Amino acid sequence: MATTFDHGGGVRSVAVPIPDNPLGHTLVHVVETDRGPVLVDTGWDDPGSWDTLVAGLAACRTTVGEVYGVVVTHHHPDHHGLSARVREASGAWVALHPADAAIVRRTRETRPERWYTYMAAKLTAAGAPEEHVAPLRTPRPRSLPGLSPALPDREIVPGELLDLPGRRLRAIWTPGHTPGHVCLHLEEEHPARLAGHGRLFSGDHLLPGITPHIGLYEDPDDTTVTDPLGDYLDSLERIGRLVPAEVLPAHQHAFTDAPGRVRELLAHHEERLAGLLALLAEPLTPWQVAERMEWNRPWGQIPYGSRNIAVSEAEAHLRRLVKQGRAEAVTGSEPVAYVAV
Ligand SMILES: [Zn+2]
Ligand SMILES: [Zn+2]
């Protein structure tokens, strides 16, 4: 049985499960158009998830074969995982922002060993202890999920309307969670006439009860010093200014008062940056920063993979502080340590 929601005005959603993940499910939004339904995201690539999507589309009185197009908010496997299967079953086009399409291309071309080598070097540079880095030098032969994501057929052009005959769905580029994350603004009056401007499919950018992971844009081939947290905070403000009547995110549930939620998230990150700055009274490596930052559980209980994500998040916050001129790298330190200015 699939859980579906009718949001009115020809928009429904299907809760597609993400196996073994505390997030639970991805909300795949189904937008009616004159040429057939267009999906916003597709869900995790797993046989059970696929069956739920198929059953959910039937409950929405359509079929997977009728899907006209797929708009993907970002490349993560809980959003883009089933895109290839939907395209196979329907001939639908698949659209992604070029920055995330580049990641998809690279993921398909990069051998897992290259990733392990890159991660090992990166973690060492961040000050990770040898016992944490060692397993990456002798990787177990296992396949990683999402290693051959679908190449998109179309590019999402920021600011332009997407090909949804009979509807107005505009792409808003919201980098931060990934470099090519987009929100989709349905520029139509709210079906229940709620105050505000249309509805916003927010992907992972704006969620009602959780903050998305903001780490570094990991790219073994690119040494550009990016500022993903800065990108994210800018993108948040942009979304707040749209004042959508309702937000339909990819996880949890639909909600109103987007500007209020944006303010909460901006305050949360400012608090986090201020807390980090206080820690930097003494020079610390990104690893040491991650150990001292507040997470949803004590550092000692954070599993291996999540520690890597935490270090990436610590680095994103450090980059922001450096960019703001509130912290700097200690000259000659190796691994590099940061200190408050
Ligand atoms: Zn994501
Ligand atoms: Zn997600």
DSSP calls for 84-123: HHHHHHH--EEEE-HHHHHHHHHHHHS-HHHHHHHHHHHH
| Same domain assignment for residues 185 and 248 | yes
**Which one of 230, 264, 298 terminates a domain?**
264
- Give, in degrees to the nearest 5, the angle at Cα 117 between 116 and 120: 80
Domain-located, residue 245? yes
Question: 276 pLDDT exceeds 90?
Answer: yes
Q: Are residues 257 and 292 in the same domain?
A: no
Domain extent at residue 314? 279-340
Q: Which of 232, 264, 296 finishes a domain?
A: 264
Instruction: Report yes or no on 29 lying in a domain.
Output: yes
Query: pLDDT per residue over 85-125, tens digit each?
Result: 999 999 999 999 999 999 999 888 888 888 888 889 999 99
Mean pLDDT lowest among 9-13, 41-45, 142-146 = 142-146
CA of 235 to the centre of ligand 2 (A): 17
Look over the chain and give the mean of its residue pLDDT values, rounded to a whole number: 94
Backbone angles phi, psi at 172, to 5 degrees: -120, 120
Last residue within a domain, chosen from 237, 264, 291: 264
Same domain as 92, residue 36: yes
Residue 147 has pLDDT above 70, yes or no: no
SS3 content of the chain, % helix, strand, coil (to 5): 40, 20, 45
The answer to whether position 116 is within a domain reads: no
In a domain, 140, yes or no: no
Residue 81 exposure: Cα atoms within 13 Å on the Cβ side: 23
Look at residue 161 and tell me if it is in a domain. yes
Same-domain check for residues 185 and 81: yes
What are the pLDDT digits (tens) for 169-196? 999 999 999 999 999 999 999 999 999 9
6 secondary structure, DSSP code: E
In a domain, 285, yes or no: yes
| Distance between Cα 74 and ligand 2 center (Å) | 9
179, 317: one domain: no
Q: Kindly list the protein residues that place their beta carbon closer than 5 angstroms to ligand 2, a single-atom ion.
A: 78, 204
Strand partners, 71: 40, 95
Task: State in Å: Cα 126 to ligand 1 middle.
Answer: 23
Nearest ligand, CA 16: 2
Tell me the percentage of the chain whose pLDDT exceeds 70. Answer: 97
In a domain, 112, yes or no: no
Same domain for 159 and 300, yes or no, is no
User: What's the CATH number where 290 sits?
Assistant: 1.10.10
Task: Report CA(76)–ligand 1 centroid distance (Å).
Answer: 5
Is there a single domain that holds both residue 192 and residue 323? no
Q: Which residues surround ligand 1, an ion (CB under 5 A)?
A: 76, 204
Question: Are the CB atoms for 34 and 25 separated by under 8 Å?
Answer: no
Q: Specify if 113 maps to a domain.
A: no
